[in-house]
Structure 1
C-alpha cells in the first residue's frame, strides 16, 4: 500500500480539481435521474423510462472512467462529488490525509475509523511521511 506525504498529496490537487470539476455535474444529473427512476409512482412501463436508465448508466460509466485511474494511484474516493482520502502515516499510525473539492490544498487528516467528521487540521506536514517510493 502506498502512503502519501502532504507534499505528494498536494501535488495531486490540481488534477483532482480538474477531474471533479468535470465529474460533479454528471453526479448531480445521476442523482436527479435516480430520483425519477426510483420514485414510488414511477411509470410501470419499463420502456417509458428506458432513455433515463440508459442516460444514467452512460453517466455512471463516464464517472467510473474518470475516477478509476485515481483509485489505481492509491487514492480512496469517498464521494464522487469530490471527497478524497490519501493513505498516510502519522508516526507509526496509519491515517488519512483528507481533501474535498474546492479546497486549494490538503490541510486536514483523520483517523481511519472517524471519517470526514473527525477531520483535524494538519499542524505540521512533517508529521506525515511516505513509506513507499513514489
Structure 2
C-alpha cells in the first residue's frame, strides 16, 4: 500500500508505527544475542547438532526481523535506520515529494527533508507548506 502522509495523518499513525518499530528493535536485539550465542558455540568447539539448532534458531529470528520490517513498510513508512531510530513518511511539499521524518524518542512528527537529503537536512515543519488533506 502506498500512502502520502500529511503531518496530521503521520502523527495519527505514529502510535502504531512506534509499536511496530519497538517490535523491530526487540527482534533485532534477539538476532544479535543469537549471533553471539552461535559464535560462542563455534568458539567452544561444540558438536554439529548444537551448532545447527542454534543456526536454525538464528535463521528464523532473521526471517522474523525482515517480516516485521516488511509489515511496517507496508504502511508506507520507510525504515531508514533501526540503530538510530529513523523513520520517514512520504509526503508532498507543494509539488515536491518529501519525507516527513521521525526519530525515536520524539513525541510527534516535527521535521521534514527532501528526497535526496538525510537526517542532517531536517527542517522544522512550520516552514514547509506540506499539503493538507
**TM bracket (short chain):** 0.7 to 0.9
Q: CA RMSD in A?
A: 2.8
- C-alpha contact 2:93 2:131 (8 A) present in aligned 1: yes
Alignment map for 1:93-132 (pairs within 5 Å): 93-124=96-127, 127-129=129-131
Give the number of the structure with larger relative contact order, counting CA–CA contacts within 8 Å between residues 6 or more apart.
1
Stretches of structure 2 lacking an aligned partner (at least 5 in a row): none
- Provide TM-score, normalisation by structure 1: 0.74
Stretches of structure 1 lacking an aligned partner (at least 5 in a row): none
- C-alpha contact 1:89 1:130 (8 A) present in aligned 2: no
Alignment map for 1:1-134 (pairs within 5 Å): 1-34=2-35, 43=43, 47=48, 49-81=51-83, 82-124=85-127, 127-129=129-131
- Provide TM-score, normalisation by structure 2: 0.75
What do the CA deviations read for 1:66-122 (whole angstroms, capped 9, x no partner)?
332322221111123542111111112111001122211111111111212222222
- C-alpha contact 1:2 1:130 (8 A) present in aligned 2: no
